[in-house]
Amino acid sequence: PLHIRQDYRTLSSSKVTCHPENVVSVGQPADLVFHRKMSVELDTFLDSDKKWFCHVDDDNYVNVERLVQVLGDYNPQEDWYLGKPSIRTPLEILNREPKPHTKPHITFWFATGGAGFCLSRALALKMMPIASGGRFMGIGEKIRLPDDVTMGYIIEHLLQKPLTVIDQFHSHLEPMKFIRQETFHEQITFSYSRYSKDEMNVVRIDGFDTRIDPTRFLSLHCFLFPHFKFCPR
């Protein structure tokens, strides 16, 4: 419904998320750009009156209707960190600010940016003293990890707020072929990647020729919303 949709605002993304298996130093220019962009996204949300902050990558297809439906099950006036990890166990990193009686390592979960994640306004407001006004970039530089990991560090470790796992978020790290077509309407995000020159990691769906639609996102969109004029009849 329109009155619900007006509570949301989209911010375009043009990044490729780094992940623990290929983590590099934040000192590299690309990582600085990603942290700066996430910082600006967060500050833009905090300056608005919107209820939810949702971040997705430019290799995601977002089923907006399903996203709105799922967010409707959660109260934005409560603390919610919604997303999906890409690792099976919590991430463990070196504690760069060791204090007496503290452990040398820190463990926490983080939602993979490549699958998308959402923060409630209540949680984002609690992040303001720590991460707003460019401070997000400083934390990322200190822990030397990618932007989505930095977000998890702030929320799970510094604020002690847990990640709520939503399985309907999907990143390019997952085999898209295992998402069953009869469940497409239930999913929030989809992604794609290339395994090799001749093999793509994409959802299995009929529709447009692969030369026109190599990611299968156009075909997926027409499956979900067949009333669009450009969809095959």
215 and 202 Cβ atoms separated by less than 8 Å: yes
Q: Which residue's structure tokens are 């967060």? A: 42
- Verify whether residue 7 is a known catalytic residue: no
pLDDT at residue number 153: 97
What mean pLDDT is predicted for residues 18-23?
38
Q: What is d(CA 68, CA 8) in angstroms, rounded to the nearest whole number?
A: 9
pLDDT in tens, 52-105: 999 999 999 999 999 999 999 999 999 999 999 999 999 999 887 767 667 888
What pTM does this model have? 0.85
What mean pLDDT is predicted for residues 171-195?
98
Q: Where are the alpha helices (DSSP H) in the chain?
A: 2-5, 29-46, 64-71, 121-131, 135-143, 147-152, 217-224
pLDDT at residue number 30: 64
Kindly list the domain boundaries of the chain, sorted by start residue. Answer: 23-94+102-165, 176-224
pLDDT at residue number 94: 87
Averaged confidence pLDDT in the chain: 88
pLDDT at residue number 9: 45
Report the top-level CATH class of 23-94+102-165.
Answer: alpha beta
The residues, any chain, with a CB within 8 Å of residue 177's CB and separated by 6 or more, are 201, 202, 203, 204
Tell me which of 7, 79, 148, 206 is the catalytic residue. 148
Q: Which residue's structure tokens are 């109260």? A: 75
Would you state the structure tokens that stand for residue 28, as one six-digit string?
């590299």
